Amino acid sequence: MSGLSFRRLAFMLLFAFLVWSSSTGTCHARRGKHWRHSRAASASLSKKKAKSHGSGSHHHGGSKSKSKAPSPPKQVTPPPPEKKGSENFNVLDFGAKGDGDTDDTKAFQAAWASACKVEASTIVVPSEYVFLVGPISFSGPYCEANIVFQLDGTIIAPTNAKAWGSGLLWWIEFTKLRGITIRGNGVIDGKGSVWWQDSPFDDPVDDEAKLIIPLNRTAEQNSPIPINSKLGSKMPSTKPTALRFYGSFNVTVTGITIQNSPQCHLKFDNCMGVSVYEISVSSPGDSLNTDGIHLQNSKDVLIHSTNLACGDDCVSIQTGCSNVYIHNVNCGPGHGISIGGLGRDSTKACVSNITVRDIIMHNTMNGVRIKTWQVSLLLLLKKLDRVLAEF
């Protein structure tokens, strides 16, 4: 029994060993088969990628061999740059005579028409010539910017009443421009004596004239005899300003002399960015309403290093002006430097940020002043009625 039991036990152990060996081999076989499949798949995938890459390279290589090399772009010669600031337009080249008798108005107009088309161009009014020019407007707004009016000669106004028609507010006008400069050593002469002597007969006398005390303490007994024009007729009652700028930006006036204007010598209306320096204004102290520089509805104005002698305000500042700086100005004769008159006919008037300093006044009626118009009693009563009605 014991031998049988030992034999049975050995058989069972042998059987168990065989079963264990068989399961272990199968596991290793499966694992190995799985590994071999993975390696084969990886190798196959690598081969496919290599083949695909190789075929792609071959395809690109083939396309390169078939396509032609691109031709270089054609060289396009750019147009020559437009000349800026290098063109001068001399009024003599446009037919001006400069003899003081021939009317050169059309020549000035033609020179302006050409200069207007070129940015930073220069109109030349040469020295040693006297140009008779009638009422003229150098106007934009389609002109190029930064035009220079080089004034070295003399421009005189006509004293023929016919040249002025029924009357104009300006003689020489620059309007709606961007960057306009008037410079040089020349003269603008308004020939104003023809107009001033007619004033006592045409226009009411400025009330301020009553404040003038004659040097010899005696009043003038006889009214002045009018100086008539060349045709023997009186000049129009509307008197022109000699040089006017309207609706322009970045305006510069320097070096020139403006003299004997029928009314204001230099006026800026609706302008922005104004610079006036080293100019001279000259007219007699008894020439009526001949303001030196007149500002209206203008902003950012600088006036300095200037001599102003006239028969009214050296500088007059009207409604709508702001950021005005005036310094180092010689004023006299004249009525001083004035703000106003403001509020005429009970209108609203606004002026702001005005600076006046380092001014020399000599033989002037006033220093610096603010002039306002008196509000009518009727208007005050109307305002009072509105205030009372609100309560």
**Domain-located, residue 388:** no
- 312 annotated active-site: yes
Residue carrying the six token digits 């220069």: 122
Pairing of strands 178-183, 249-254: parallel
Q: Is 93 helix (H, G, I), strand (E, B) or coil?
A: helix
Give the long-range contacts of residues 353-358, CB within 8 A, separation 24 or more. 353/322, 353/323, 353/324, 354/317, 354/321, 354/322, 354/324, 354/326, 355/324, 355/325, 355/326, 355/327, 356/326, 356/327, 357/326, 357/327, 358/327, 358/328, 358/329
How far apart, in whole angstroms, are the C-alpha atoms of residue 200 and residue 227? Answer: 12
pLDDT at 324 over 90: yes
Confirm whether 53 is a catalytic residue.
no
- CB-hemisphere CA count at 13 Å for 268? 31
Report yes or no on 325 lying in a domain: yes
Mean pLDDT, residues 244-273: 98
- pLDDT at residue 209, as a whole number: 42
Q: Yes or no: say if 336 and 311 are a contact pair by the CB < 8 Å rule.
A: no
User: Exactly one of 335, 345, 358, 362 is catalytic; which is it?
Assistant: 335
* Domain that residue 363 falls in: 88-380
Structure tokens at 60: 């690109």
126 in a structural domain = yes
**Alpha-helical regions (H) of the chain:** 2-66, 105-115, 193-196, 199-202, 377-390
- 103-123 confidence digits (pLDDT tens): 999 999 999 999 999 999 999
Q: What is the pLDDT of residues 227-242, one digit of tens each?
A: 444 444 688 999 999 9
Question: Among candidates 180, 166, 106, which has minimal Cα distance to 136?
Answer: 106
Q: What average pLDDT does the chain have?
A: 80
Q: Is the confidence at residue 211, as pLDDT, over 60?
A: no
Is residue 247, in this structure, part of any structural domain at all?
Answer: yes
In a domain, 277, yes or no: yes
Please state which of the ranges 73-87, 158-172, 213-227 shows the lowest mean pLDDT.
213-227
Radius of gyration of the chain (CA): 47
Task: Please report whether residue 221 resides in a domain.
Answer: yes
Which residues touch 71 (CB under 8 Å, ≥6 apart)?
Answer: none
Q: What is the dihedral of CA 265, 282, 135, 111, to 10 degrees?
A: -100
Give the type of residue at 365.
Answer: M
Instruction: Classify residue 96: in a domain, yes or no.
Output: yes
Return the H-helix or E-strand segment holding 170. Answer: strand 170-175
Catalytic residue among 104, 189, 291, 312: 312
- List pLDDT tens digits, range 23-74: 544 444 344 444 444 444 444 444 444 444 444 444 444 444 444 555 555 5
Residue 33 lies in a domain: no
State yes or no: pLDDT of 225 exceeds 60.
no
CATH number at residue 239: 2.160.20.10
- Domain count of the fold of the chain: 1
Out of 5-19, 145-159, 273-287, pick the least confident: 5-19
Handedness of CA 18, 19, 24, 27 (dihedral sign): positive
